[in-house]
Structure 1
Amino acid sequence: MRNRKRTTERGKTPAHIMLRAAREVKLNNKSIRGAGTDYDIPERTLRRFLQKVTDEELYGTNELPTTAVGYIKKRQVFSDDQEKQLEEYILKAADVYFGLSPKQIRTFAYEWAVSLKIKFPDSWNTNKCAGQDWFTYFIKSLSICTPEATSLARASGFNKHSVGNFFKNLKTVLHRLQIGHQDIYNMDETGITTVQKPDRIVARRGFKQVGRITSQERGTLVTLAIAVNAIGNSIPPYFIFPRVNFREHMLSGAPPGSAGAANQSGWMKKEHFLHWCQHFVKHTGCSKERPVLLFLDNHDSHLSIDSLDYLKENGVTVLSFPPHCSHKLQPLDRSVYGPLKKYVNTACDGWITSHPGSSMTIYDDPKIVAVALPSAITPKNITAGFKVSRVYPFNECVFSEDEFLPSYATDRPLIEQAKDDEIDRKPNNSPKPKISQDTSPQPGTSRDYSEILNADSSMPKTSEINPPLEEKTPEKQIIKNINILAKEDTELNTQKKNSQSI
Structure 2
Amino acid sequence: MDPIEAALADLESQNPPNYSATARKYNVGRSTLSRRHRGLTVSREAYIENISILTQEQENNLISYIKRLTAMSLPPTNKMVENFVHDLTGHWVHKNFVTEWWQKHSDVLGSSYLTPIDLNRTKADNNFLYSRYFSLVEKKIAEYDIQPHNIYNMDEKGFLIGVLNKLKRIFCKEDYDVGKLKGAGQDGNRDWITLLASICADGSYLPPALIYQGESGDVQNSWLQDYEPSSQEAFFTASPTGWTNDNLGFEWLTKVFDRHTKAKARHGRDWRLLIVDGHGSHVNMTFINWAVAHQIAVLVFPPHSTHTLQPLDVGVFRPLSGYYTQEVTQYLHWTQGLVAITKKDFFRFFWVAFNKAFTEKNISHAWERTGLHPFAPEVILNPRPKKRKNRVPTPPPKEEPMRPLSAKDTRKIRELLDATTSRTSREGKQLRSTVWELADAKNLLKQEVSGLKIALKAEKRKRTRKKGLFEELREVDEGNCLWLSPNKVQLARDLQAKREQEALQEKLQKEEDKRLKALAKEQEKLAVEQRKREREAAKIQREIQRDAEREAKRLAREEALYDREVKKQLKKYSRSTRSKGKKKSTAIAAITESLLDVHEADSPSEVDGPPSRPGRARKLPAHFKDYIIEID
The one-letter code sitting in structure 2 at the alignment partner of 1:246 is D
2:205 match: 234
1:291–1:315 CA contact under 8 A, matched in 2: yes
Equivalent runs, 1:460-479 vs 2, <5 Å: none
1:384 match: 365
Equivalent in 38, 45, 63 of residue 32 of structure 2: 45
The one-letter code sitting in structure 1 at the alignment partner of 2:344 is Y
Q: Deviations over 1:328-379 (max 9, x none)?
A: 1111111111111111011112223444532111232222111111221222
Equivalent in 303, 314, 318 of residue 294 of structure 2: 314
1:188 alignment partner, SS class: strand
Matched, 1:72 2:47: yes
Equivalent in 237, 247, 253 of residue 219 of structure 2: 247
Matched, 1:281 2:267: no
Equivalent in 365, 369, 375 of residue 350 of structure 2: 369
Matched, 1:340 2:325: no
1:184 match: 151
1:207 alignment partner, SS class: helix
Matched, 1:194 2:157: no
Looking at structure 1, the residues matched to 470 and 9 of structure 2 have their Cα atoms a distance apart, in angstroms, of 80
The one-letter code sitting in structure 2 at the alignment partner of 1:193 is L
Equivalent runs, 1:350-499 vs 2, <5 Å: 350-355=330-335, 357-397=338-378, 398-399=380-381, 442=473, 444-445=481-482, 447-448=484-485, 450-451=487-488
1:219 alignment partner, SS class: coil
Matched, 1:214 2:200: no
Looking at structure 2, the residues matched to 241 and 69 of structure 1 have their Cα atoms a distance apart, in angstroms, of 69
2:196–2:210 CA contact under 8 A, matched in 1: yes
Matched, 1:268 2:239: no
Q: Deviations over 1:24-82 (max 9, x none)?
A: 677799986576567653332233444569xxxxxxxxxxxxx8456612522332232
1:304 match: 284
Gap change, CA 1:378 and 1:46, over 3 Å in 2: farther
Aligned residues: 389
2:485 alignment partner, SS class: helix
Residue 323 of structure 1: how far off its partner (Å): 1.4
Equivalent runs, 1:133-144 vs 2, <5 Å: 134-140=97-103, 141=105, 142-144=109-111
1:192–1:365 CA contact under 8 A, matched in 2: no
Structure 1: runs of 5+ lacking an equivalent: 1-14, 54-66, 115-123, 404-408, 417-437, 456-502
The one-letter code sitting in structure 1 at the alignment partner of 2:226 is G
Residue 257 of structure 1: how far off its partner (Å): 1.8
Looking at structure 2, the residues matched to 45 and 230 of structure 1 have their Cα atoms a distance apart, in angstroms, of 71
2:175 alignment partner, SS class: coil
1:435 match: none
Equivalent runs, 1:50-199 vs 2, <5 Å: 50-51=37-38, 68=43, 72-73=47-48, 75-113=51-89, 124=91, 129-132=92-95, 134-140=97-103, 141=105, 142-160=109-127, 162-197=129-164, 199=167
2:281 alignment partner, SS class: helix
Gap change, CA 1:317 and 1:204, over 3 Å in 2: same
1:281 alignment partner, SS class: helix
- TM-score, normalised with respect to structure 1: 0.67
Residue 241 of structure 1: how far off its partner (Å): 0.7
Looking at structure 2, the residues matched to 35 and 383 of structure 1 have their Cα atoms a distance apart, in angstroms, of 70
1:300 alignment partner, SS class: coil
2:152 alignment partner, SS class: strand
RMSD over aligned Cα atoms: 3.9
Residue 326 of structure 1: how far off its partner (Å): 0.7
The one-letter code sitting in structure 2 at the alignment partner of 1:206 is E
Structure 2: runs of 5+ lacking an equivalent: 386-452, 462-468, 475-480, 493-632
The one-letter code sitting in structure 1 at the alignment partner of 2:55 is S
Looking at structure 2, the residues matched to 167 and 84 of structure 1 have their Cα atoms a distance apart, in angstroms, of 38
Residue 213 of structure 1: how far off its partner (Å): 4.7
Equivalent in 315, 323, 326 of residue 306 of structure 2: 326
Looking at secondary structure, tell me which structure has more helix per residue.
Answer: 2
Gap change, CA 1:104 and 1:384, over 3 Å in 2: same
Gap change, CA 1:358 and 1:21, over 3 Å in 2: same
Gap change, CA 1:370 and 1:68, over 3 Å in 2: same
> Relative contact order (C-alpha < 8 Å, sep 6+): which is higher?
1
**Larger of the two Rg values belongs to structure:** 2
